[in-house]
């Protein structure tokens, strides 16, 4: 079930990226497209981590404190 | 000429608006952390810590003023690249972007936690975070000038309300809670002053907005007056917290000011004052999120030389919502993260790096 949601998420992000390509490229905004694509990729990873974690899994704060303290 | 000046006024901040923006950032965090941080480890001498941080804030605002007049009309990315070169300047500004993202995620989660703890018990925190994020992005879309004008009004209301609160708290004071204060309390007060300084670290964002400020006339005088007013208010709030609750109890309560407000029962008409104040605190926290979100986007824009920011608003909303949800589950873990990581990191980003930039700029004679 979760893998289905993750695949759907990345497909949706890909469709969104392609749509934005049609907004940026006609204006010649290649640098803006790179920044957008990079940020979209990082957001995709963040959402994937959120979806994959269950309520009992440690979050960023707990993981950070376990690693360093 | 009149068209140009009206363009400037609609797209640029006045000195008062710029200072108000910075002050509300400090105040919004103080609502949550001031009594707790002031009393660790100073205890009953926590109000001394606020007096000490007043001196630090004046010094650092003077440094920010020097940057503003030396690099008038330039943004923070240009300032960093001019002083430290293109590569190091790029990495410094990128680190500020990551810091602001961490701060936004953390504070959105904490604000949601405060709301679900105080006004909406049992409410799903994720829904509160989503509402915050949606409204913040809508406000950010309009630009910094409307945000700054709302901030001036909100700041004035907050200051007025806190003065009234301090008067209302007086009957509940137990004066034995903060006496005696001796010279032996000074070292602990010094340590606490660094913790209280954490909320002042966000005054560095005035440099992020430096290219949005139309006129620097009197900005130093306005800044010094505002810092003096705010510090006086903070001393009174800490005195009230220590006087009403005592330093031991402050360290055990997650949201101290909410508890203090519930102690006000002057008359039956004022018993539900906590609802009204909760709304005011929520507005201040919302202004914090909106301003820091704008600064986050503005830094990305200035670092990469982007023209339009509208396509990135959805990415901002997604980053804030999922970042705010993922950063932590429990209040305890978030509090420990703030003490162990976010507070020292904010001191470095808010004060140490600008100080190093200033010293380098002075050596290279690019800063007045």
Instruction: Give the pLDDT confidence of B179-226 residue by residue, as tens digits.
Output: 777 888 888 888 888 889 999 999 999 999 999 998 888 899 999 999
Please state, in angstroms and as integers, the Cα–Cα distance from residue A46 to each residue in B25, B209, B289, following that order: 27, 28, 20
Contact B315 A40 (CB under 8 A): yes
**Residues of chain A positioned with their CB less than 8 A from the CB of B333:** 59, 61-62, 65
Kindly calculate the radius of gyration of chain B based on its CA atoms and give it in whole angstroms: 20
- pLDDT classification of B272: cutoffs 50, 70, 90: low
CA gap B109, B104 in Å, rounded: 8
pLDDT tens per residue across span A2-41: 788 889 999 999 999 999 999 888 888 888 999 999 999 9
**A69 in contact with chain B, both atoms CB, cutoff 8 A:** yes
Better-predicted residue by pLDDT, B17 or B331: B17
Better-predicted residue by pLDDT, B263 or A26: A26
Candidates B307, B315, B322; nearest CB to A39: B315
- In this predicted structure, the answer to whether residue B3 has a pLDDT above a threshold of 50 is no
Residues 44 through 63 of chain A touching chain B, CB cutoff 8 Å? 46-47, 49-50, 53, 55, 58-62
**A43 in contact with chain B, both atoms CB, cutoff 8 A:** yes
Candidates B300, B327, B340; nearest CB to A60: B327
Residue range B274-293: mean pLDDT, rounded = 86
Candidates A23, A43, A68; nearest CB to B319: A43
The full 3-state SS of chain B, as one line of letters, equals CHHHHHHHHHHCECHHHHHHHHHHHHHHHHHHHHHHHHCCCCHHHHHHHHHHHHHHHHHHHHHHHHHHHHCCCCCHHHHHHHHHCHHHHHHHHHHHHHHHHHHHHHHHHHHHHHHHHHCCCCCCHHHHHHHHHHHHHHHHHCCHHHHHHHHHHHHHHHHHHHHHHHHHHHHHCCHHHHCCCCHHHHHHHHHHHHHHHHHHHHHHHHHHCHHHECCCCCHHHHHHHHHHHHHHHHHHHHHHHHHHHCHHHHCCCCCHHHHHHHCCCCCHHHCCHHHHHHHHHHHHHHHHHHHHHHHHHHHHHHHHCCCCCHHHHHHHHHHHHHHHHHCCCCHHHHHHHHHHHHHHHHHHHHHHHHHHHHHHHHHCCCCC
- State residue B4's pLDDT score: 41
- State residue B10's pLDDT score: 52
Instruction: List the one residue out of B56, B107, B39 whose CA is nearest residue B284.
Output: B107
- pLDDT classification of B7: cutoffs 50, 70, 90: very low
Contact A24 B318 (CB under 8 A): no
- State residue B9's pLDDT score: 45
In chain B, the percentage of residues whose pLDDT exceeds 90 is 42
Q: By mean pLDDT, which of B2-16, B147-161, B195-209 is the weakest?
A: B2-16
Total-model pTM:
0.90
> B-side interface with A, Cβ within 8 Å?
300, 304-308, 311-312, 315, 318-319, 322-323, 325-330, 333-334, 336-337, 340-341
Contact A61 B333 (CB under 8 A): yes
- The overall average pLDDT reported for chain B is 86
Q: At what angle do helices B273-304 and B313-326 cross, to 10 degrees?
A: 120
Instruction: List the one residue out of B3, B18, B7, B8 whose CA is nearest residue B222.
Output: B18
- State residue B269's pLDDT score: 54
Considering B14-23, B37-46, B253-262, B264-273, the range whose residues carry the highest mean pLDDT is: B14-23
- pLDDT classification of B112: cutoffs 50, 70, 90: confident
**Mind telling me how many Å the CA of B133 is from chain A's nearest CA?**
15
pLDDT tens per residue across span B57-79: 999 999 999 999 999 888 899 99
- In this predicted structure, the answer to whether residue B125 has a pLDDT above a threshold of 80 is yes
CA gap A6, A12 in Å, rounded: 10
Contact B311 A32 (CB under 8 A): yes
Q: What is Dmax (Cα atoms) for chain B?
A: 64
């Amino acid at each position: 079930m979760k893998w289905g949601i993750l695949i759907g998420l990345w497909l949706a992000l890909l469709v969104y990226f392609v749509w934005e390509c049609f907004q940026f490229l006609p204006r010649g905004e290649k640098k803006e497209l790179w920044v957008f694509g990079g940020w979209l990729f990082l957001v995709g990873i963040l959402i994937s981590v959120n979806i994959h974690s269950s309520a009992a899994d440690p979050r960023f704060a707990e993981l950070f404190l376990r690693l360093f303290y | 000429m009149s068209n140009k000046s009206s363009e400037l006024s609609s797209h640029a901040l006045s000195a008062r608006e710029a200072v108000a923006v910075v002050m509300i950032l400090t105040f919004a965090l103080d609502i949550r952390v001031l009594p707790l941080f002031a009393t660790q480890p100073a205890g009953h001498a926590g109000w001394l810590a606020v007096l000490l941080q007043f001196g630090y804030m004046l010094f650092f605002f003077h440094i920010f003023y020097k940057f503003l007049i030396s690099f008038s009309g330039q943004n923070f990315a240009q300032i960093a690249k001019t002083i430290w070169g293109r590569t190091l300047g790029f990495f410094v500004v990128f680190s500020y972007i990551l810091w602001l993202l961490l701060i936004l995620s953390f504070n959105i989660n904490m604000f949601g936690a405060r709301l679900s703890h105080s006004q909406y018990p049992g409410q799903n925190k994720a829904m509160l975070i989503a509402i915050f994020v949606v409204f913040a992005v809508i406000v950010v879309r309009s630009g910094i000038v409307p945000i700054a004008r709302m901030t001036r009004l909100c700041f004035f209301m907050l200051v007025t309300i806190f003065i009234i609160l301090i008067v209302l708290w007086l009957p509940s004071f137990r004066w034995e809670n903060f006496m005696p204060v001796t010279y032996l309390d000074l070292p602990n007060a010094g340590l606490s002053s660094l913790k209280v300084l954490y909320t002042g670290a966000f005054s560095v964002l005035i440099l992020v907005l430096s290219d949005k400020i139309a006129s620097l006339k009197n900005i130093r005088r306005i800044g010094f007056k505002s810092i003096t007013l705010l510090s006086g208010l903070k001393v009174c709030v800490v005195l009230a917290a220590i006087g009403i609750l005592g330093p031991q109890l402050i360290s055990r309560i997650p949201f101290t000011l909410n508890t203090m407000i519930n102690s006000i029962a002057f008359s039956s008409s004022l018993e539900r004052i906590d609802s009204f104040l909760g709304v005011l605190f929520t507005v201040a926290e919302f202004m914090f999120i909106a301003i820091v979100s704008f600064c986050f986007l503005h830094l990305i824009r200035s670092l990469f030389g982007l023209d339009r920011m509208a396509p990135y608003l959805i990415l901002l909303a997604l980053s804030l919502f999922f970042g705010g949800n993922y950063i932590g589950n429990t209040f305890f873990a978030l509090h420990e993260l703030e003490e162990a990581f976010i507070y020292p990191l904010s001191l470095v980003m808010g004060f140490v790096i600008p100080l190093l930039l200033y010293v380098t700029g002075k050596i290279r004679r690019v800063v007045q």
